[in-house]
Structure formats: C-alpha cells, structure tokens
Amino acid sequence: MQVIEKTKNNEVAGSVAARPGGRSARIQAAIFKAVEELRQAPDGPDMTVPAIAARAGVTPSTIYRRWGSLNELLAQVAAKNLRPDAPPEATGDWRKDLEIWLHQFVEEMSSEPGRAMLREVLGGEREENAGQCSAYTRQQLDAILDRAGDGSQAPTTDKLLDGVIAPVMYRILFTSAAPDHDYACALLQRTLEA
C-alpha cells in the first residue's frame, strides 16, 4: 500500500503552465490519460489519487503538489473535456445555427457524462475551471452572433446566457428533470423576441 503524501500546505496548488512537449506537459498528459482510463474500468472507477498515480507512473505527491486535491485534478480534466471540438455549424442563417448549436449543447450537457463533467468542473478549488467552461459557451455564442448582419436584431451573448443557457444549466444541475429540446427552444424564442 502506498502512503499518501499530502501537501501540508493548504494553499491550492496552481496549475503550472506546461511548455508543450516539456517534461511538465508530458507528466500532465500521462495523469490526464490515467484519469480517463480509470473512468473506463469495467467494475466502475476507483478514482483515488494513489490509483491515478500508479497508472500514470508517478508518485501521489506529484499529483498533490501540482493540483492540491483529487477534486481539483478532476475539475481540470473536466474543463479540458468540455472544450468544444469544432466551431458551431454554419448554415447561412444565424437563427438556425443558434437552434442547431443549442440542440447539441442541451443534449451533451444533460447526458450522464455531461452532468458528471459539470459536477466535476464545479468541484475543484479554483473557480477558473468553471469559468473556462462558461468562456467556451460564450465563444461559441459570439461566433454565431457574429454571423448576424447589422440590423438583424440579434440578441447579445449576455442575453442568451441569462435567458437560455442559465435556465438550461440550472435544470441540469439542480433538478432531476433534464431540460428537453422543446423547453430550450421555448427559452430561445422568448429571448429572441424580447
């Protein structure tokens, strides 16, 4: 049994800016990969710092030194996974783009893995992880609204965050009834007409 060497320092370990390809980046990649592999374990994940460290071939103290806690490590992995894979689909009609994007967003976030990622990204000590998640959403919305010409009466990104994204997220996080497509569409229509 490995002894858990937990840092005595109660300050949260900062995320060291990892030079791509450097030693620090390689260690981070190995640890993130170990988290993903443990998640796929057939008997359910044994997601502990010693188990992650053993699989990544590092000591537990490496993980505690860099992330401070298991929750913070999982939050950073979740923030990375919440990064969108591609820019929003472009059909030539920004309203349609918004609908398509929202449909995918609601489907992904309210899925079981989506809910788990949201809980994890909110569970870390550093609020920047959740901020990163919201920044991705904002960037996607900005990209769609940029396609609307002048005089199109497109809402601002803030109005969409307040009127559509926030209620969807609130239902996902705080209620057992996952928001469905009709509910999200109704919020979008109300916000576009306001």
The distance of closest approach from Cβ of residue 128 to a second copy in the complex, given in angstroms and rounded to an integer, is 8
Name residues whose C-beta falls within 8 Å of residue 106's C-beta, 6 or more positions apart in sequence. 168, 179, 180, 181, 184
Give the residues lining the site for a second copy (CB under 8 A): 6, 10, 43-46, 48, 71, 115, 119, 122-123, 127-128, 130-131, 133-134, 161-163, 165-167, 169-171, 173-176, 187, 190, 194
The distance of closest approach from Cβ of residue 60 to a second copy in the complex, given in angstroms and rounded to an integer, is 13
The distance of closest approach from Cβ of residue 66 to a second copy in the complex, given in angstroms and rounded to an integer, is 19
The distance of closest approach from Cβ of residue 79 to a second copy in the complex, given in angstroms and rounded to an integer, is 11
Nearer to a second copy, 27 or 126 (CB): 126
Nearer to a second copy, 28 or 110 (CB): 110
